[in-house]
Amino acid sequence: MDVLALEAKGGKADASPAPAPAKSRSKVPKKAKRIVYFEVEILDAKNKEKLLLLDKVLCLAVCLCYILFHVLSVSPDQRWYPARQSLCLDPKGKPLKDEDVLHQLPVGTTATFYFRDLGSQISWRTVFLTECIGPLFIYLMFYFRVPFIYAPKYDFTTSKHWVVHLACLCHSFHYVKRILETLFVHRFCQGTMPLRNIFKNCLYYWCFAVWMAYYINHPLYTPPYYGEQQVKTALGIFVFCQLGSFSIHITLRNLKPPGSKTKKIPYPTKNPFTWIFALVSCPNYTYEVGSWLGFTVMTQCVPVAFFTIVGFIQMTMWAKGKHRSYLREFKEYPTLRSPILPFVL
């Protein structure tokens, strides 16, 4: 018995001990993200008077519309509303966008913005409609020769030249197309513009419409020198460019979902009229100039030629600005493209 007890005791002693459970590795605590606060100072762009001081503004996703809201909330001037105001980094600098994020701007932790009153605003859609409806009705008044325009014997008479009727059809088609595009196609990045601009824009379009319509529909109007061949060639140019302009506007619309302000690079699609995107940044202006060039050749009228030249100069300035914007915002933007004319301008 004692021997068996000793053997049993020895067996237990010789048994290997059970392995200890592995210690679980303790997780290293992550370092807390450093919270950065901004001190935002708002000054009046005209007199440099301090309007507002925001202390301890979080840098995370604070957009300028948030700051602008605070400016308006403390403003005693009831005329101010968001579309009328802007914030700038410089008193005479370019207005910043509402969606710009504070920590992505070239400012330190103490940021100074300048508050600017843009004046009474009007929607871009209203401006476009006003620009187009005016020339449409003005031209038709001259075409139907309403009283007090030409001599009384010509009141409500029609021209004997068929090119005059064709010119009226083309002119009306152009502005009706622009009105419909404004209502159903265009998506504007900026909702409003200063009210004073509508007078300048309407003066340009309406006055040129009066000048062109007066001479084209005049009882003594002379048809083009090369006759029917010149008119038909010009009509082909006009129709081609109108179709091209519409195709470009549809393509640009498809780049922007409703309510989005995100910019994308436009590229050619399966539509042949959009293939010009391979060479030009703003083909809508290219087609617009081509349309008026065709109208100039069709009517052989000096006022139309002046309107085409002035429009080409203005659209070239717009196209160059848009081209520079593309190059600045997109590093992969095609370098082969020109602003308005392939390989030229």
List, for residues 83-93, the tens digit of each pLDDT value. 677 778 787 77
With b for 16 or more beta-carbon neighbours within 10 A and e for fewer, the 2-25 pattern comes to eeeeeeeeeeeeeeeeeeeeeeee
Asked if 257 and 198 sit in the same domain, the reply is yes
Tell whether 136 and 175 lie within a shared domain. Answer: yes
pTM exceeds 0.75, yes or no: yes
Say if residue 26's pLDDT is above 70.
no
Residues 66 and 130 in one domain: no
Same domain, 155 and 250: yes
Task: For residues 249 and 80, give the distance between their C-alpha atoms in angstroms, rounded to a whole number.
Answer: 34
Residue 25 belongs to a domain:
no
Q: Give residue 13's pLDDT.
A: 44
Q: What is the CATH number of the domain that holds 41?
A: 3.10.20.90
- Non-local CB neighbours of 128 within 8 Å, separated by 6+ positions: 178, 182, 186
Token digits of residue 304: 């139309």
| pLDDT per residue as tens digits for the range 90-141 | 877 777 776 676 666 777 677 787 888 777 888 889 999 999 999 999 999 9
Residues 261 and 193 grouped into a single domain: yes
The model's confidence at residue 19, banded by pLDDT at 50, 70 and 90, is low
Judgement on whether residues 237 and 162 belong to the same structural domain of the protein: yes
Statement to judge: residues 59 and 164 lie in one domain: no
pLDDT digits (tens, 9 = 90+) for 186-200: 888 777 888 888 998
Q: Is residue 9 part of a domain?
A: no
Mean pLDDT (the chain, rounded): 83
User: CA dihedral defined by 294, 298, 304, 308, rounded to 10 degrees?
Assistant: 10
Split into its structural domains, the chain has a count of 2
Among 60, 86, 118, the domain boundary falls at 118
Q: Where are any strands of DSSP class E within the chain?
A: 37-44, 50-58, 85-88, 110-117, 121-123, 192-194
Residue 7 confidence (pLDDT) = 45
β-strand pairing of 110-117 with 37-44: parallel
Q: Is 305 exposed, middle or buried (0-12, 13-18, 19+ CB in 10 A)?
A: middle
| pLDDT at 65 > cutoff 70 | no
Instruction: Give yes or no: residues 178 and 110 share one domain.
Output: no
**Taking residues 282-288, what's their average pLDDT?**
97
Please tell me whether residues 110 and 156 are part of one structural domain: no
Say what the pLDDT of residue 22 is. 52
Domain that holds residue 285: 122-329
